[in-house]
Amino acid sequence: MLYRTMPKNGDRLSILGFGCMRLPATPEGAIDEPRAIAQIRAAIDAGVNYVDTAWPYHAGASEPLLGKSLRDGYRERVKLATKLPSWLVTSRADMDRFLDAQLSRLETDHIDYYLVHALDGPLWDAVAAHGVADFLDAAKADGRIVNAGFSFHGLLPDFRRIVDAYPWIFCQIQYNYLDQQFQAGTEGLRYAAAKGLGVVVMEPLRGGMLARSAPAIAALWDEAGARREPVDWALRWVWNHPEVTLLLSGMNEEAHIAQNVAVAGQALPGALTDAETALVDRVAATYKELLRVGCTGCGYCMPCPMGVQIPKCFDAYNALHLSGDDESAKFRYVVSVGGVIGVDAPGFASRCVACGECLEKCPQHIEIPEVLKSVVAELEDEGVPARMEAASKMFKVRPQ
22 is a site residue for ligand NAP (CB under 6 A): yes
14 is a site residue for ligand NAP (CB under 6 A): no
The H-or-E segment that residue 386 falls in is: helix 384-395
Whole-angstrom Cα distance, residue 269 to residue 271? 5
Q: Where does this chain touch ligand NAP (CB under 6 A) — which range of 33-41, 214-222, 243-251, 364-372?
A: 243-251
21 is a site residue for ligand NAP (CB under 6 A): yes
Q: Where does this chain touch ligand NAP (CB under 6 A) — which range of 3-11, 13-21, 94-102, 160-168?
A: 13-21
381's CB contacts (< 8 A; 6+ apart) are 330
Task: State the minimum distance, in angstroms, from the CB of residue 299 to ligand NAP.
Answer: 18
Cβ closest to ligand NAP, residue 4 vs residue 153: 153
- In order of 4, 249, 331, the CA distances from 309 in angstroms are 37, 27, 16
228 is a site residue for ligand NAP (CB under 6 A): no
Is the Cβ–Cβ distance between 123 and 89 less than 8 Å?
no
Q: Where does this chain touch ligand NAP (CB under 6 A) — which range of 17-25, 39-47, 84-92, 342-350?
A: 17-25
Of 117-146, binders to ligand NAP (CB under 6 A) are 117-118
248 is a site residue for ligand NAP (CB under 6 A): yes
Cβ closest to ligand NAP, residue 262 vs residue 377: 262
Pairing of strands 3-5, 12-14: antiparallel
Q: Where does this chain touch ligand NAP (CB under 6 A) — which range of 15-23, 28-36, 124-132, 186-194?
A: 15-23
DSSP 328-357: HHHHHHHHHHSSSSSSSPP--GGG-----T
Whole-angstrom Cα distance, residue 393 to residue 32? 19
Cβ closest to ligand NAP, residue 74 vs residue 300: 74
When computed from its CA atoms, the radius of gyration of the chain, rounded to whole angstroms, is 20
250 is a site residue for ligand NAP (CB under 6 A): yes
Pick one of 206, 236, 332, 351: the residue that binds ligand NAP (CB under 6 A): 206
67 is a site residue for ligand NAP (CB under 6 A): no
Pick one of 102, 245, 252, 336: the residue that binds ligand NAP (CB under 6 A): 252
Buried b (16+ CB within 10 A) or exposed e, 323-358: bebeeebbbbbbbbbbbbbbebeebbbbbbeeeeeb
DSSP 292-336: SS------TTPSPTT---HHHHHHHHHHHHHHS-HHHHHHHHHHH
102 is a site residue for ligand NAP (CB under 6 A): no
231 is a site residue for ligand NAP (CB under 6 A): yes
Task: State the minimum distance, in angstroms, from the CB of residue 154 to ligand NAP.
Answer: 11
Cα-based angle 224, 226, 202 (whole degrees, multiple of 5)? 90
Tally of CB atoms within 10 A around 129: 9
Pick one of 102, 151, 240, 318: the residue that binds ligand NAP (CB under 6 A): 151
23 is a site residue for ligand NAP (CB under 6 A): no
Task: State the minimum distance, in angstroms, from the CB of residue 166 to ligand NAP.
Answer: 17
179 is a site residue for ligand NAP (CB under 6 A): no
Alpha helices in 225-273 (DSSP H): 230-239, 254-264
- Number of residues near ligand NAP (by CB under 6 A): 27
251 is a site residue for ligand NAP (CB under 6 A): yes
Q: Where does this chain touch ligand NAP (CB under 6 A) — which range of 18-26, 141-149, 160-168, 279-287?
A: 18-26
Pick one of 202, 244, 280, 337: the residue that binds ligand NAP (CB under 6 A): 202
Task: State the minimum distance, in angstroms, from the CB of residue 135 to ligand NAP.
Answer: 18
- Residue 295 corresponds to which amino acid? C
CA dihedral 357, 362, 365, 369 (to 10 degrees): -40
Task: State the minimum distance, in angstroms, from the CB of residue 255 to ligand NAP.
Answer: 7
Whole-angstrom Cα distance, residue 394 to residue 349? 23
The H-or-E segment that residue 150 falls in is: strand 145-152
Residue 261 Cα to chain centre, angstroms: 20
The H-or-E segment that residue 119 falls in is: strand 111-119
Whole-angstrom Cα distance, residue 128 to residue 123? 8
Pick one of 245, 249, 296, 309: the residue that binds ligand NAP (CB under 6 A): 249
211 is a site residue for ligand NAP (CB under 6 A): yes
Q: Which residues bind ligand NAP (CB under 6 A)?
A: 19-22, 52, 117-118, 151, 153, 172, 202-208, 211, 231, 248-252, 256, 259-260
